[in-house]
Amino acid sequence: MGIRAIALHLLAALWIGHGALAGDLSALARLDPAASRVVDAGAGIAIDLAISQAVPYRTFLLADPPRLVADFSEVDFGPSRPAALDRSERVHSLGWGPVREGWSRLVAELDGPYRIESAEERVAETGEAEIRLRLVPEEADRFAAATAGGVPEAARWALPEPVALAAPKRRQTGAAPLIVVLDPGHGGIDPGAEAGKAVEAEVMLVFARELAEVLRRGGMKVTLTRDEDVFVPLEARISVARAAGSDVFLSLHADALAEGEATGATVYLLADEASDTASAQLAERHDRADLLAGVDLSGQGDLVAAVMMEMARTETQPRADRLAGALVAAIKASGGRMHRHPIQEAAFSVLKSPDIPSVLLEVGFLSSEADRRRLADPVWRAGFQEAILAGLRAWAIADAAEAQLIRQ
């Protein structure tokens, strides 16, 4: 990691102390989107963020695709979405949100290699602050050298704990409560799909909390991969499932599809390659979230590990297939609405646990007005959640029976 790529600006809090002008120190710093901007500056980019009080922050660059990352301790970005900000065409996308307790992150995807020419925080007499970042174009090889180290050590807290390659989990036999990990998709810097007032990350968090209660009442043990609006890297979601000793991993989504009139629930299974365009787009969008935050571990793992995982997957995949079938049957039996192709395959990283049957459930599509209405209806949700409980129960019984057969 070249020095140039990291600009660390951790301010001592001391100077805030002069006078009462600094305002309420315990209050969270808030971004004022109306006074903030991301604009062209000569051949480069100017990012000015108006915040209600000074905060420690740091910035760094990442490659593939080129991105500027800024971490703040801690900024409330409020209800406004990054898309609302006036934006330079040199910034392909802009995302912000909480990434970890006490930290917020902004990620700007750039149209090419840049370097951080300057980064400063100016504080007005009122205590309000402005963070001013200036990026200028950089030669490709210098940019590559500067970003070769990836995420700087100090910013690596977003990475999950390394997953120990323990023996594959013993499959459930029905002797103990079923352990279910629910994974509300997206969160924090990655809001997922947005349609009207509905934001996928929020809709799925509500749904997952309610579903957790339904499953617990049904005698299952439930863990959530996130229980607040925070960014959780995909690999960390899998780590949560392992740490919980999960029997089943259920990722919950409500995406928007641009093409066609997608409506109704869909169960996705892991595929090596996404089978059609819509599946490929979904997989791309979901896996992109990790790239955005600079966490991409997908290339990791040595050959031995890969072989071990492949062996485990050979037993796990048919179990996941049956799980998908059981969920679809239960949802249909409850009168719930399924997509006309209820079971599909896509290359979702989050489904890659080798020894935990994992499926991704699109509860509905936010792009469909009918689905949005259903998702907003607590009565409809309760019925759908009961159907998931019934599906999981039916699957667990059949799965345990098969486990007994294998063992004999």
Binding-site ranges for Zn ion (CB under 5 A): 185, 192, 253, 255
Residue with smaller CB distance to Zn ion, 192 or 342: 192
Output 98 or 364, the one with its CB closest to Zn ion: 364
Query: Residue 385 CB, nearest distance to Zn ion (Å)?
Result: 18
- CB nearer Zn ion, residue 185 or residue 391: 185
- Tell me whether residue 103 or residue 365 sits nearer to Zn ion (CB atom): 365
As measured in angstroms, the least distance from the Cβ of 295 to Zn ion is 17
Q: How far is the CB of 317 from Zn ion (least distance, A)?
A: 22
Shortest spacing between CB 366 and Zn ion, in angstroms: 9
Chain residue at closest Cβ approach to Zn ion: 253
We find the least distance from the C-beta atom of residue 323 to Zn ion, in angstroms, to be: 19
Half-sphere exposure of 362 toward its Cβ, with a 13 Å CA cutoff? 37
Q: How far is the CB of 106 from Zn ion (least distance, A)?
A: 21
128 vs 345, beta carbon nearer Zn ion: 345
Q: Report the residue number, 281 or 317, with the smaller CB distance to Zn ion.
A: 281
